[in-house]
Amino acid sequence: MTTSTRGAAKVPAVLVLEDGRIFRGRAYGAVGETFGEAVFSTGMTGYQETLTDPSYDRQIVVATAPQIGNTGWNDEDDESSRIWVSGYVVRDPARVPSNWRAKRSLDDELVAQGVVGISGIDTRALTRHLRERGSMRAGVFSGEAIAPEAELIERVQAQPHMKGASLYEEVATKDAYVVPAIGEKRFTVAAIDLGIKGMTPYRMAERGIEVHVLPATASVEDVYAVAPDGVFFSNGPGDPATADGPVALMTAVLERRTPLFGICFGNQILGRALGFGTYKLKYGHRGINQPVQDRTTGKVEVTAHNHGFAVDAPLDKVSETKFGRAEVSHVCLNDNVVEGLQLLDQPAFSVQYHPEAAAGPHDAAYLFDRFVSLMEGQRA
Ligand SMILES: NC(=O)CC[C@H](N)C(=O)O
């Protein structure tokens, strides 16, 4: 399929960072203005999954890979019902997308969904800036008449920070739904949607799990009404320090000793339920090439990440928590950030990264099998 990019390629655009740094380029996708936290992602592929991951709500994503859009946009790889990033920053958009599954260009999809982007800027310089100074608030402005820089900087500085942002209720489903088991049904799981990606229930379903996806505001009664063999807490946007409701719900699940698995935001919620703190990373981990060590086996896996916050738990000792002993099960080999937690006295664990791997390598798929083993163990 071939679609050429739209006329917007000639419209001027500017990316403005809260510290006053300005990058000038051309409009990409919708023309207009947008605000969010500027973050970079190192994935060389998988932009469709990235853009539709609800964890990216209110973030302006910078692609470090210079060429973006080469495989267009298809009808299969969305991780949710829409694009969630607030803006997209690329160096060199594909002029002619080409892939057997492509239905339209990325550019056309951004326009159709009203997502403002910018192209033609030095994304390497921008990434180095964000790495040195940290992720920060930003705005993208495009059109023939862009306001003076000082005014734009002021408007960016008036935006809310990511630290302290409570966003998971905004992106989560309002109504419960069921993802049926593929093949013979072996287990029932209640999955708390804090911004869940479509691949996550699928990874459970293909292991014989019937997944009841419940809204972020589900009560303990709602969870146990589905008679779950296990409870799952999903990924999600915003600052985990604001997620008091999910922390209280998880605490109730831990009190009942129901097998529990959490991913990303879910890992941060387990950290909080155990009494650890969370903190904001300088520039976070985003991409599909992050090395993580599973300290329970010693194996290293290459994994998909998207997190700007992390759990503050000791790496070198077993912690005593109100749910017994807990330890850091996984660690990022780039920077020693906590990438997983496990309880030693009851069936509960979580990882900070994305074993559903959409997009990304499948090294971490064993974690879904670990969840199944916990549920089997509880039955035995
Ligand atoms: N993917 C996620 O669940 C992200 C969790 C959290 N919003 C963070 O940025 O750390």
pLDDT over 90 (residue 8): no
pLDDT digits (tens, 9 = 90+) for 124-136: 999 999 999 999 9
Q: Of ligand 1's atoms, which has the minimum distance to the CA of residue 266?
A: 3
pLDDT digits (tens, 9 = 90+) for 339-379: 999 999 999 999 999 999 999 999 999 999 999 999 999 98
* Centre of ligand 1 from the C-alpha of residue 78, in Å: 18
- The CATH number given to 168-379 is 3.40.50.880
Under 8 Å CB-to-CB from 240, ≥6 apart: which residues?
265, 268, 269, 271, 272, 278, 309
Residues with CB under 6 A from ligand 1: 55, 235-238, 240, 264-265, 306-309
Instruction: Work out the pLDDT band at 10, boundaries 50, 70, 90.
Output: confident
Instruction: Please report, rounded to a whole number, the percentage of residues in the chain having pLDDT higher than 90.
Output: 97
* Centre of ligand 1 from the C-alpha of residue 101, in Å: 30
pLDDT digits (tens, 9 = 90+) for 295-308: 999 999 999 999 99
User: For position 6, what pLDDT does the model report?
Assistant: 54
pLDDT digits (tens, 9 = 90+) for 183-242: 999 999 999 999 999 999 999 999 999 999 999 999 999 999 999 999 999 999 999 999
Among 1-5, 73-77, 273-277, where is mean pLDDT lowest? Answer: 1-5
Domain extents for the chain?
Answer: 7-157, 168-379
User: For position 18, what pLDDT does the model report?
Assistant: 98
* Centre of ligand 1 from the C-alpha of residue 149, in Å: 31
Q: DSSP string covering 166-208, please?
A: --HHHHS-SS-EEEPPSSS--EEEEEE-SS--THHHHHHHTTT
CATH 3.50.30.20 fits 7-157, yes or no: yes
Q: Which residues are annotated as a binding site for L-glutamine?
A: 55, 236, 238, 265, 268, 306, 308-309
Q: Which residues are catalytic?
A: 264, 354, 356
**Mean pLDDT over all residues of the chain?**
96
Q: Which residues are annotated as a binding site?
A: 55, 236, 238, 265, 268, 306, 308-309
pLDDT digits (tens, 9 = 90+) for 153-184: 999 999 999 999 999 999 999 999 999 999 99
Hey, do 7-157 and 168-379 end up sharing a CATH topology, with the first three levels equal? no
Which helix (H) or strand (E) element contains residue 350? Answer: strand 348-351
